[in-house]
Amino acid sequence: MHRSVLATSVRASAPQPAGSLRIALTTILVAAALAVAAPALAADLAVGDPAPDFALAGSDGKTYRLADFRGRQAVVIAWFPMAFTSGCTIECKSLADDGGQIEQYDVTYFMASVDPVEGEKGNRAFAKAHAARFPILSDPTKQTATAYGVLSAGGYANRWTFYVAKDGRIAHIDKDVSSRLATSALDMAKKLGELGVPKKTAK
């Protein structure tokens, strides 16, 4: 009797190979998932950091690479959530209507989103609808949005604007654009002046 109880106790306390394997596999899968998600979570850029490079299609049919501007010109990238939505339309109209204020400075400026270029609700149609004379960049893979840390939990870009200095480093990040949509162009021009971006010289 004693021997039977002891044997049962030993069998009950012995590790179960199948269960152990299942736990190990689960642990590995969770770790792998976290590793894949890490870049999206870790992107926390600050002033002075190198701005992540990109090659994105513009609403004008050209492809724009940030590296092409390094050493030549400052760049502003105004991320927005979705084309043709109310807030994004107000922002786009401001940059289109008052873009002359920005164009006084030696800078190239873009709006950017994870919308596609083409389609009824794409960025090409969005730019055309509001007579935008600046390119609107499309990042449908969301890789650049992730690199800049702007991708929201809903899969859209947060409305943040990045000011990139001529040396390719981040000079300023504006995360409060939503409270000043109607004056987006004027605010951008003011910030360029504060950052010491030179004005264009008359030709």
Q: Tens of pLDDT along 39-68?
A: 334 368 999 999 999 999 999 999 999 999
d(CA 57, CA 65): 9
Whether pLDDT at 17 is above 60: no
d(CA 135, CA 61): 9
To the nearest 10°, report the CA torsion of 28, 29, 31, 37: 160
Higher-pLDDT residue of 9 and 141 is 141
pLDDT for res 130: 96
To the nearest 10°, report the CA torsion of 4, 10, 13, 19: -100
Helices (H) and strands (E) in the chain, counts: 7, 7
User: pLDDT digits over 144-175, tens only?
Assistant: 999 999 999 999 999 999 999 999 999 999 99
What is the Cα 33 distance to its own chain's centre? 21
% of the chain with per-residue pLDDT over 90: 75
Under the banding of pLDDT at 50, 70 and 90, the label for residue 3 is very low
User: pLDDT digits over 66-105, tens only?
Assistant: 999 999 999 999 999 999 999 999 999 999 999 999 999 9
Q: Are 189 and 102 in contact (CB under 8 A)?
A: yes
pLDDT for res 179: 87
Among 188, 152, 183, which residue's Cα sits nearest to residue 173?
188
Higher-pLDDT residue of 4 and 70 is 70
Under the banding of pLDDT at 50, 70 and 90, the label for residue 203 is low
Higher-pLDDT residue of 2 and 184 is 184
> 136-138 and 107-113 as β-strands: parallel, antiparallel, unpaired?
parallel
Whether pLDDT at 191 is above 60: yes
Distances (CA, A) of 171 to 75, 101, 105, 174, 196: 10, 19, 15, 10, 10
Count of residues making up the chain: 203
The pLDDT mean for the chain works out to 85
- The angle that helices 86-97 and 184-194 make with each other, rounded to 10 degrees, is 60
Q: Are 33 and 152 in contact (CB under 8 A)?
A: no
pLDDT for res 41: 40
pLDDT for res 6: 39
